[in-house]
């Protein structure tokens, strides 16, 4: 049987280990860093987590994270309201914004279709997207989902769903590696992919 630390320190390690991208050793390093951190630094982390849980919500229009709904993008009259870029998660909005190539609106699905994880289309923010497209000035929907199996399945589902409308459906052009995540793409690659988007056949 593997040895574990006593009480609170092991619970803290276990809590960090549940976070995405942090393994057991990374969780242990963070826990011991906080153990030796000043009270001010530790309290700052506690306050930041509490503030996020208290203040952050999802935009009623696009599903992006914000402190007040509608989010700054949806509320900005200078944005191009004829184009909606569909992304998987709120972090993808920031990835595309950093390219400075896109001035339209966004729609966050909150995931992708993944039967292995029991995620069906009804579990995603698709109904609200369809609702946004009714009686609106949208002429183009960009499908900017991660180029992996689940992202491709969701892109295919959405393109078929939107083929019943007069709206042009496009997707990001090549330049993004298959199996990669938008979060880790550099600004130049993502910018070129966005600028060179093509129609979904």
φ, ψ of residue 84 in degrees (nearest 5): -120, 130
Cα dihedral 172, 175, 180, 186 in deg (nearest 10): -100
Q: Indicate the burial class of 190 (C-beta count within 10 angstroms; 0-12, 13-18, 19 or more).
A: buried
Sign of the alpha-carbon dihedral angle for 125, 188, 21, 44 = negative
The count of residues in the chain is 201
pLDDT digits 0-9 by tens, 50-75 = 999 999 999 999 999 999 999 999 99
Cβ-Cβ contacts under 8 Å for 34 (sequence gap 6 or more): 12, 41, 42, 45
CA angle 131, 86, 95 (to 5 degrees): 145
Q: What sign does the CA torsion over 183, 175, 87, 100 have?
A: positive
8/22 Cα distance (integer angstroms): 19
The residues facing 119 across adjacent strands are: 114
Task: Return contacts of 26-31, CB within 8 angstroms, 24+ apart.
Answer: none
The predicted structure's pLDDT at residue 1: 43
Q: 156-177: per-residue pLDDT in tens?
A: 999 999 988 889 999 887 666 6
pTM: 0.79
Q: How confident is the model at residue 4 (pLDDT cuts 50, 70, 90)?
A: confident
Q: Give the phi and the psi of residue 157 in degrees, each rounded to 5.
A: -60, -45
């Amino acid at each position: 049987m593997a040895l574990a630390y006593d009480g609170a320190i092991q619970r803290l390690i276990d809590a960090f280990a549940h976070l995405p991208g942090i393994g057991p050793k990374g969780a242990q390093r963070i826990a011991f860093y906080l153990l030796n951190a000043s009270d001010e630094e530790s309290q700052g982390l506690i306050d930041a987590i509490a503030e996020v849980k208290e203040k952050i919500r999802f935009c009623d229009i696009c599903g992006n994270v914000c402190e007040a709904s509608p989010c700054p993008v949806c509320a900005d009259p200078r944005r191009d309201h004829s184009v909606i870029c569909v992304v998987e998660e709120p972090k993808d909005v920031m990835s595309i914004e950093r390219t400075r190539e896109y001035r339209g609106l966004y729609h966050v699905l909150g995931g992708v279709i993944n039967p292995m994880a029991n995620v069906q289309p009804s579990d995603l923010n698709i109904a609200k997207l369809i609702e946004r497209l009714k009686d609106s000035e949208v002429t183009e929907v960009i499908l900017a989902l991660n180029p992996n199996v689940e992202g491709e399945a969701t892109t295919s589902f959405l393109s078929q769903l939107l083929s019943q409308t007069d709206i042009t459906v496009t997707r990001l052009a090549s330049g993004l590696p298959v199996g990669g995540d938008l979060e880790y793409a550099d600004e130049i690659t993502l910018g070129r992919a966005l600028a060179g988007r093509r129609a979904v056949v």
